[in-house]
Amino acid sequence: MNILAPVRRDRVLAELPQCLRKEAALHVRKDFHPRVTCACQEHRTGTVGRFKISKVIVVGDLSVGKTCLINRFCKDTFDKNYKATIGVDFEMERFEVLGVPFSLQLWDTAGQERFKCIASTYYRGAQAIIIVFNLNDVASLEHTKQWLADALKENDPSSVLLFLVGSKKDLSTSAQYALMEKDAIKVAQEIKTVQRLCIPGALCPPP
Ligand SMILES: Nc1nc2c(ncn2[C@@H]2O[C@H](COP(=O)(O)OP(=O)(O)OP(=O)(O)O)[C@@H](O)[C@H]2O)c(=O)[nH]1
C-alpha cells in the first residue's frame, strides 16, 4: 500500500506565482499555457509531455549556496556549516497543479571542480536549470556563463527554463547589492539572447 502525505498547502498551485522584479526575470509568464489548463481540466495530462514530473538541476560555483537554497525550499531549514556536495544530491518535492499531482526532482550538483565530472552526468533531461552565484563574489557571477554552457550541452536550449539566482544577500551592503544586481541583469539578458538564438556554445566559445 502506498500512503503519501497530503501535498503541502503552499504546493497547491491554481495560478502561476508572479516574479518579484520583471526586469530581472528570465520568465514573465502570467498564466499556465492554455494547453496545460485544458488538459488538466479534461484529466488527460499524459498528452502534454512530461507534465507529471519535471527535473531541475542546480549548478554554480562551490559554496555559492546551492544546497542551502534547496534545503530552504524543500525543508525550510538553513545550516551555516558548509558541507561540500559530493557528486550530486537529490530531493523530490510534490505539488498539485490545477488539481493534477506533479513532482519536482531537484538535483543539487557539486560546485567543486574535482566532482564536476560526476555531477555533469546528471545534467541530461532537465526541464529547468537554476544557475546560482554569490552576490558577494563577482567571479561566481562571471562563472555562471560556463556553468550554463556546460548544462546546455546536455539539454535542449530552446525548451529548457533558465533561472539565474543570486545568493547570500544578507551578507552584502545595499551599495554592493545594487552594483551586483546591475551586472546580474546584464548576464540574465545575455542568457536570454543566447537561448533565443538556441546556440548552446555561444556563451562560452571554446578556448
Ligand atoms: N550568510 C549566508 N550564508 C549562506 C547562504 N547560503 C549559503 N550560505 C553558507 O554558504 C556555505 C555554502 O553553502 P552550500 O549551500 O553548502 O553551498 P553549495 O553551493 O551547495 O556548495 P558545493 O556543494 O560545494 O557546491 C555554507 O556555510 C552556508 O551556510 C546565505 O544566503 N547567507
CA–CA distance, 69 with 33 (Å, rounded to integer): 27
CA distances (Å), 115 to each of 5, 105, 119, in order?
Answer: 34, 20, 6
169 CA closest ligand 1 atom index: 31
pLDDT the model gives residue 84? 95
Ligand 1 centroid, distance to 119 Cα (angstroms): 18
pLDDT digits (tens, 9 = 90+) for 133-175: 999 999 999 999 999 999 999 998 888 988 899 999 999 999 9
pLDDT digits (tens, 9 = 90+) for 64-103: 999 999 999 999 999 999 999 999 999 999 998 888 888 9
Determine the residue type at 186. Answer: K
3-state secondary structure of 139: helix
Ligand 1 centroid, distance to 65 Cα (angstroms): 3
CA–CA distance, 133 with 139 (Å, rounded to integer): 9
Q: Which residue has the cell 559530493?
A: 86
Nearby residues of 170 by Cβ (< 8 Å), 6 or more positions away: none
Ligand 1 pocket mutation, candidates 69, 74, 82, criterion most atoms within 8 A of CB: 82
Mean pLDDT of 108-121: 92
pLDDT the model gives residue 4? 73
H-run or E-run covering 177? helix 174-197
Question: Alpha helix locations (H) across 53-135?
Answer: 66-75, 116-120
Taking CA 173 as the corner, what is the angle to CA 169 and CA 174, rounded to the nearest 5 degrees?
90
Ligand 1 centroid, distance to 118 Cα (angstroms): 20
Ligand 1 surroundings by CB, under 6 angstroms: 60, 62-68, 79-82, 84-85, 110-112, 167-168, 170-171
Which of these, 203, 194, 126, lies nearest to 160 by C-alpha position?
126
DSSP states of 21-63 as a string? -GGG-S----S--HHHHHHHHTT-GGGSSSTTEEEEEEEESTT
Question: Alpha helix locations (H) across 121-173?
Answer: 138-153
pLDDT the model gives residue 207? 36
User: In the predicted model, is pLDDT for residue 19 greater than 80?
Assistant: no
Ligand 1 centroid, distance to 155 Cα (angstroms): 26
User: In the predicted model, is pLDDT for residue 200 greater than 60?
Assistant: no
Is the pTM value of this prediction over 0.90?
Answer: no
pLDDT the model gives residue 31? 81
Q: Are 55 and 126 in contact (CB under 8 A)?
A: yes
Q: Are 111 and 63 in contact (CB under 8 A)?
A: yes
Mean pLDDT of 58-68: 97
pLDDT the model gives residue 108? 97
CA distances (Å), 87 to each of 71, 126, 148, in order?
Answer: 17, 17, 17
